[in-house]
Amino acid sequence: MSRAEQRRRKALAKFRSRVRRALAQNDKAFRGRYKEEIQALSGLSREDLEAISPDATDMVVYNKLIEVVKEASRTNLKQADLRDRIVALGTLAVEMARKVPSLAALLPI
């Protein structure tokens, strides 16, 4: 086997390992403490989000919000810490999170 082939196989093995880890983390998040919140956030329509802000670039904030809640679920983060992380994402993320009643209950008025 050539060196190039060995490098390709090694790179493929690393890629597969990263994918398996990512899938395991995602699975853990979707089974974790905030699984219903993740599902509710993921279920928000474009119209729901555009009602908060019509700027299409705000999808970046939406995706960050989902990632924060996934990580909180995966690590079983306390509600107060989740609230702080959502607030740290900014006003737009807070407004998006308020679309989910259980997250809205965590957030400042």
pTM over 0.85: no
Contact 65, 86 (CB under 8 A): yes
With respect to residue 97, please indicate whether it lies within any of the assigned structural domains. Answer: yes
As for how many domains the chain has, the answer is 1
- The whole domain housing 74 covers 32-104
With respect to residue 83, please indicate whether it lies within any of the assigned structural domains. Answer: yes
With respect to residue 17, please indicate whether it lies within any of the assigned structural domains. Answer: no
With respect to residue 80, please indicate whether it lies within any of the assigned structural domains. Answer: yes
Closest residue by Cα to residue 99 from 69, 55, 57: 69
With respect to residue 55, please indicate whether it lies within any of the assigned structural domains. Answer: yes
pLDDT, tens digit (0-9, with 9 covering 90-100), for 60-92: 999 999 999 999 988 888 999 999 999 999 999
Close Cβ partners of 96 (under 8 Å, ≥ 6 residues apart): 41, 44, 49, 52, 61, 62, 65
Higher pLDDT, 53 or 83: 83
